[in-house]
């Protein structure tokens, strides 16, 4: 699902789960990828495999193993805690964001919008808004000439792995996945001209 | 929202008007009156359970069809998918192509070549989508219809068994590729890299069409992967047991 923000929810209470599901339905840019109740085996592993953009978790759903659970998730994906007024501060402090489940729908939606906003800002101040580097531009040029990663690697004295990384970054920065899409981009931005693609 | 048989179809369409092309694929057209889904399906000779299965899958990306909902003729599923293909190739694609052509015409002289690139890109996409659809129409769907016939008549021709050996539905599932990637690229080309034309009126229309087609294709592929494939797997299983 290109473009949607993916969320994984861990919540043991059926009603709260249903409530969160219906709240998230109101946010068209968001997709609830998977829901867990917290008792699953090797939960962190399963979640990381889904590569979500956000993880929402009710700390009560994993109880005793909260710390080890958070540790095994690493800190790549921001954690949002689903808490209430009685949640002790030391637990609140474990989360990057919090959502107070007793809040009104209006407040909850507001909070969600802010949360989703952080996702886009995070993306644009990291590498994604920077223009292509010189190396990436060279790789792009060869891609549009129909060269394979292997061929590009040989030509530029790089490992295939490095070329693959460059290609991933090009796609991330430009938002263009296919070779012919990249060719159009390269022509529009004069990275190559018409004569070069016919070579 | 889960769509149920005793809801009025008109209410459902108010709630999600993107379902209009979907109900069309069942032969149900606007002007259908005040009836519930069940009544209208009966009038139009449509299997209600199957209709609900498809519109729910389409309406709600979280909806995951259950096994017990698989009791409908494979032929009607194939007919539905075929109508969707026709809609993409005969309506959507020409519509978008017309809009991109118009955009090219209205653009400044100095930008015309740029828009021609976009048009070429879209035409290349059209060829890819046509090839994808052709493969399904000429190879996969006839196979599904054939399997259903085998189960009905109880006789298994050697040809069908050979086909099950050489190219079963699992092979289709493996190869079934994503056909929306180029649409995503085209959206970004228009949003980020092509020059603006005449207050963006046409570009906005194109983007709406692209978002629409992208979503439709995504749900279509989901129906193929999550409804067609398990259905055919079950049929293959039955036939293997029979013979
Ligand atoms: Fe198809
Ligand atoms: Fe397909």
Q: Cα–Cα distance between B148 and A187 in angstroms, integer? A: 50
The whole-chain average pLDDT of chain A stands at 86
Q: Are A99 and A180 members of one domain? A: no
> Which CATH number does the domain housing residue A161 bear?
1.10.10.10
Residue of B nearest to A176 (CA): B185
Neighbours of ion ligand 2 (CB under 5 A): B 224
- Domain coordinates in residue numbering, chain B: 9-63, 71-242
Kindly tell me the burial class for residue B48, based on how many C-beta atoms sit within 10 Å of its own C-beta (0-12, 13-18, 19 or more). Answer: middle
Residue B186 contacts residue B121 (beta carbons within 8 Å): yes
Q: Are A117 and A139 members of one domain? A: no
Residues of chain A with C-beta less than 8 angstroms from the C-beta of B212: none
Q: Are A92 and A177 members of one domain? A: no
CA dihedral A172, A173, A177, A183 (to 10 degrees): -160
Q: Are A80 and A29 members of one domain? A: yes
| pLDDT at residue A75 in the model | 73
Question: Tokens at residue B164, please?
Answer: 């099950």
**Closest residue to B185, CB basis, from A32, A177, A188:** A177
**Closest residue to A184, CB basis, from B118, B181, B184:** B118
Q: Are A119 and A47 members of one domain? A: yes
The whole-angstrom distance between B104's CA and the closest CA on chain A is 14
Using alpha carbons, list the distances in angstroms from residue B137 to B54, B57, B142, B143, B172.
Answer: 19, 22, 7, 10, 13
| pLDDT at residue A85 in the model | 87
Place of tokens 């069809």: B65
A194: three-class secondary structure by DSSP: helix
**Which residues in A61-70 are b (16+ Cβ under 10 Å) and which e?**
bbeeebeebb
Residues of chain A with C-beta less than 8 angstroms from the C-beta of B122: none
Using alpha carbons, list the distances in angstroms from residue A67 to A28, A63, A74, A166.
Answer: 32, 9, 11, 36
The whole-angstrom distance between B70's CA and the closest CA on chain A is 23
Using alpha carbons, list the distances in angstroms from residue B161 to A151, A170, B165, B173, B202.
Answer: 43, 47, 6, 19, 52
In percent, the amount of chain A with pLDDT more than 70 equals 92
DSSP state of A174: H
Residue of B nearest to A174 (CA): B188
Q: Are A10 and A51 members of one domain? A: yes
What residues make up the domain containing A173?
Answer: 134-198
Question: pLDDT digit string (tens) for A117-168?
Answer: 877 765 554 445 568 999 999 999 999 999 999 999 999 999 999 999 999 9
Domain boundary among A108, A125, A142: A125
Question: pLDDT digit string (tens) for A72-101?
Answer: 887 778 899 999 988 888 888 888 889 999
Domain boundary among A73, A105, A125: A125
For the entire predicted model, the pTM comes to 0.74
Q: Cα–Cα distance between B97 and B109 in angstroms, integer? A: 20
Q: Give phi and psi for B39, each to the nearest 5.
A: -65, -45
> Which residues of chain B, if any, have pLDDT below 50?
none
Question: pLDDT digit string (tens) for B91-127?
Answer: 999 999 999 999 999 999 989 999 999 999 999 999 9
In percent, the amount of chain B with pLDDT more than 90 equals 71
Question: pLDDT digit string (tens) for B170-180?
Answer: 889 888 888 88
Q: Are A114 and A145 members of one domain? A: no
Q: How far is CA B88 from the centre of its chain?
A: 8
Q: How many CB pairs under 8 A join A and B?
A: 51
Residue to substitute from B185, B216, B219, B225, interface A, most A β-carbons within 10 A: B185
Residue A81 contacts residue A59 (beta carbons within 8 Å): yes
C-alpha dihedral sign at A146, A132, A127, B210 = negative
B143 C-alpha to center of ligand 1: Å? 14
Domain boundary among A92, A125, A158: A125
| pLDDT at residue B138 in the model | 95
Of the candidates A35, A68, A95, A3, the residue with the CA atom closest to the CA atom of residue B184: A3
Question: pLDDT digit string (tens) for A25-75?
Answer: 888 888 888 899 888 888 888 888 888 989 999 999 987 778 888 888 877
| pLDDT at residue B174 in the model | 85
Q: Are A111 and A27 members of one domain? A: yes
Place of tokens 């740029």: B114
B103 C-alpha to center of ligand 1: Å? 29
Q: Cα–Cα distance between B158 and B207 in angstroms, integer? A: 49
Residues of chain A with C-beta less than 8 angstroms from the C-beta of B188: 174-176, 181
Q: Do B61 and A1 touch (CB under 8 A)?
A: yes
Straight-line distance from the first to the last Cα atom of chain A, in angstroms, rounded to the nearest whole number? 35
Of the candidates B112, B101, B80, the residue with the CA atom closest to the CA atom of residue B216: B80
pLDDT at A2 over 50: no
List alpha helices for chain B, DSSP H.
Answer: 9-15, 20-24, 37-43, 48-59, 74-87, 93-106, 112-135, 141-153, 158-166, 169-175, 181-188, 201-223, 229-242
Residue of B nearest to A177 (CA): B185
How many domains, chain A?
2
A198 C-alpha to center of ligand 2: Å? 32
Straight-line distance from the first to the last Cα atom of chain B, in angstroms, rounded to the nearest whole number? 43
Q: Are A119 and A173 members of one domain? A: no
């Amino acid at each position: 699902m290109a473009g949607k923000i993916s969320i994984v929810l861990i919540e043991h209470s059926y009603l709260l789960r249903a409530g969160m599901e219906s709240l998230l339905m109101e946010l068209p840019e968001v997709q609830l990828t998977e829901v867990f109740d917290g008792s699953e085996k090797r939960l962190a592993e399963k979640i990381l495999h889904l590569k979500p953009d956000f993880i929402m978790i009710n700390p009560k759903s994993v109880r005793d193993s909260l710390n080890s659970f958070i540790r095994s998730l690493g800190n790549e994906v921001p954690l949002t805690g689903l808490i209430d007024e009685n949640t002790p501060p030391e637990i609140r402090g474990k989360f990057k964001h919090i959502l107070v489940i007793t809040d009104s729908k209006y407040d909850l939606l507001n909070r969600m919008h802010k949360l989703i906003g952080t996702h886009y800002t995070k993306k644009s101040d990291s590498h994604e808004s920077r223009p292509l580097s010189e190396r990436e531009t060279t790789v792009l040029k060869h891609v549009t000439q129909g060269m394979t990663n292997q061929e590009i690697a040989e030509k530029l004295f790089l490992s295939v792995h490095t070329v693959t990384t460059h290609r991933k970054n090009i796609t991330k920065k430009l938002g263009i996945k296919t070779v012919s899409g990249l060719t159009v981009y390269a022509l529009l931005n004069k990275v190559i001209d018409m004569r070069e693609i016919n070579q | 929202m889960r769509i149920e048989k005793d809801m009025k179809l008109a209410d459902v369409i108010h709630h999600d008007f993107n379902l209009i092309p979907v109900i069309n694929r069942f032969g149900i057209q606007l002007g259908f009156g005040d009836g519930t889904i069940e009544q209208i399906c009966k009038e139009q000779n449509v299997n209600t359970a199957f209709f609900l299965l498809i519109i729910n899958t389409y309406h709600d990306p979280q909806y995951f069809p259950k096994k017990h909902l698989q009791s409908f003729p494979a032929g009607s599923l194939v007919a539905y998918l075929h109508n969707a293909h026709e809609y993409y190739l005969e309506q959507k694609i020409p519509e978008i192509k017309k809009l991109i052509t118009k955009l090219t015409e209205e653009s400044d002289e100095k930008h015309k070549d740029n828009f021609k690139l976009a048009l070429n890109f879209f035409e290349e996409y059209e060829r890819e989508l046509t090839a994808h659809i052709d493969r399904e129409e000429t190879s996969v769907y006839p196979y599904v219809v054939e399997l259903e016939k085998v189960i009905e008549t109880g006789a298994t021709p050697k040809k069908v068994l050979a086909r099950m050996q050489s190219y079963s539905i699992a092979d289709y599932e493996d190869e079934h590729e994503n056909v929306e990637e180029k649409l995503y690229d085209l959206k970004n080309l228009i949003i980020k890299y092509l020059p603006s034309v005449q207050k963006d009126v046409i570009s906005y229309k194109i983007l709406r069409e692209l978002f629409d087609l992208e979503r439709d294709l995504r749900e279509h592929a989901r129906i193929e992967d999550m409804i067609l494939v398990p259905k055919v797997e079950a049929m293959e299983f039955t036939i293997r047991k029979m013979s």
